[in-house]
Amino acid sequence: MLKKILTVLIAVVVLIAVIGFLLPRHAVVKRSVTINRPASLVYATVNSFVLFPKWSPWQDLDPNMHQTTEGPRDGVGAKLVWKKLRAYIAAHGYAQKGPLFSWYVDDPGTTPAEKLRTEIYAPID
């Protein structure tokens, strides 16, 4: 009985190895979407984190986040950091009132782009 179980187990392992060798080495997944807007508008929207809360699917997946941008407001070097602000608000008996909005922490006229910080706020009631 043990010999049969061992034989079946070896056969399954060999079959899995053979199937693995027959599969392609690389997989490619492609997705596309048609956006009925000018390319310059689409680029300006996704090139900056300022409008990120309006179009990002992450907003609905993590509704308890607090977002802060660092570095330039858009383009290369822009950085988005999020924390769980809404969880803190709920835990302390508050309710969010109104949409998120952003505010410069630093003056973009005097602060180098790589050091700029923007905070994104959630108004509470």
pLDDT tens per residue across span 56-82:
766 666 666 677 777 887 888 887 777
E strand or H helix at 69 = strand 66-70
- Alpha carbon distance 77, 118 (integer Å): 13
Q: How many CA atoms lie within 13 A of 83 on its CB side?
A: 9
Q: pLDDT value at position 13?
A: 94
- Alpha carbon distance 85, 59 (integer Å): 12
As a whole number, the mean pLDDT across the chain is 79
Q: pLDDT value at position 58?
A: 66
